[in-house]
């Protein structure tokens, strides 16, 4: 019997990191009120297509209708955990990011939730990367009864992927600590929505042979900014 060949996962590309940066920003904006809408709209093409149910329902087709859609979204606590994602490149150079997302929204009597399939297209050609299309299709109920916040996780990962994607001005401490060959990255954060200061544990897998790397972050945050401010990046010996 011949053993199965294990193919090493290649490092994430800069565009993959940038695509996930946009995705985490998108979700964090939905999870805590007070975000700066004009800055958030720059993440979207002027003729962005926001659809549902595999394109069968159109929520928005430009910035004006997207603003109306944001206004119609209930202003309640919610969470969006990216459980799995894939990134590929379209023939015209656009990025294609597909995600499986666990969504929750608690109320006084019940927990609402679903597992949602997201298909997104990201335009890179015009300089600042931005979504040109997004489709969100519920595929399963999320029956988890205990609410698990994700706002601070999404804020941290928006910063992490911006750093690893090379679209921030920084001293590069995170890239030194996690390496330039990251294959997976995750964050452990428990701060509730709208927190002004918190800490995070960020881990990544990279290298050949693969190894686990981790850093501790201290952050200050303001929901009006696109990403939090990181005051400390401390590598952790494992």
**pLDDT surpassing 70 at residue 1:** no
Task: Using the predicted structure, report yes or no on whether residue 5 has a pLDDT greater than 60.
Answer: no
**Whole-number Cα distances in Å, 12 to 83, 90, 154, 205:** 17, 17, 18, 11
Whether the per-residue pLDDT at 125 is higher than 90: the answer is no
What is the reported pLDDT for 6?
A: 46
List pLDDT tens digits, range 9-52.
Answer: 789 999 999 999 999 999 999 999 899 999 999 999 999 999 99
pLDDT higher than threshold 80 for residue 211: yes
Residue 39 tokens, joined: 């800055």
Distance of CA 88 to the CA centre of its chain: 16
As beta bridge partners, residue 201 has 188, 216
Q: Indicate the domain borders of the chain.
A: 14-141, 168-236
The phi, psi pair for 196, rounded to 5°, reads -95, -20
CATH architecture type of domain 14-141: Roll (3.10)
In SS3 terms, 145-192 reads as CCCCCCHHHHHHHHHHHHHHCCCCCCCCHHHHHHCCCEEEEEEECCCC
The confidence score (pLDDT) of residue 8 equals: 63
Fill in the DSSP letter of residue 143: -
Residue 224 has pLDDT above 50, yes or no: yes
pLDDT in tens, 154-204: 999 999 999 999 999 888 899 999 988 999 999 999 999 999 999 999 999
- CB-CB contact of 187 with 196 (8 Å): no
For the entire predicted model, the pTM comes to 0.94
Contact in structure between 73 and 52 (CB atoms under 8 Å) = no
């Amino acid at each position: 019997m011949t053993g199965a060949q294990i193919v090493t996962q290649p490092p994430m590309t800069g565009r993959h990191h940038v695509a996930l940066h946009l995705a985490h920003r998108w979700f964090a904006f939905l999870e805590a009120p007070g975000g700066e809408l004009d800055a958030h709209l720059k993440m979207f093409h002027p003729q962005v297509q926001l659809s549902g149910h595999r394109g069968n329902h159109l929520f928005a087709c430009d910035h004006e209708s997207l603003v109306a859609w944001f206004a119609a979204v209930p202003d309640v606590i919610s969470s969006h955990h990216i459980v799995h994602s894939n990134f590929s490149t379209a023939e015209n150079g656009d990025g294609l990011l597909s995600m499986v997302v666990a969504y929750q929204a608690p109320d006084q009597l019940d927990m609402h939730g679903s597992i949602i399939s997201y298909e997104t297209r990201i335009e890179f050609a015009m300089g600042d990367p931005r979504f040109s299309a997004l489709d969100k299709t519920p595929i399963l109920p999320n029956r988890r009864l205990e609410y698990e916040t994700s706002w601070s996780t999404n804020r941290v990962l928006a910063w992490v992927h911006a750093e690893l994607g090379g679209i921030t001005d920084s001293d590069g401490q995170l890239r030194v600590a996690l390496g330039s060959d990251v294959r997976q990255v995750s964050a452990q954060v428990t701060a509730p929505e709208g927190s002004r200061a918190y800490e995070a544990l960020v881990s990544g897998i990279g290298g050949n042979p693969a190894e686990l790397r981790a850093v501790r972050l201290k952050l200050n945050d303001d929901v009006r900014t696109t990403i939090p401010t990181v005051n400390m990046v401390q590598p952790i010996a494992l």
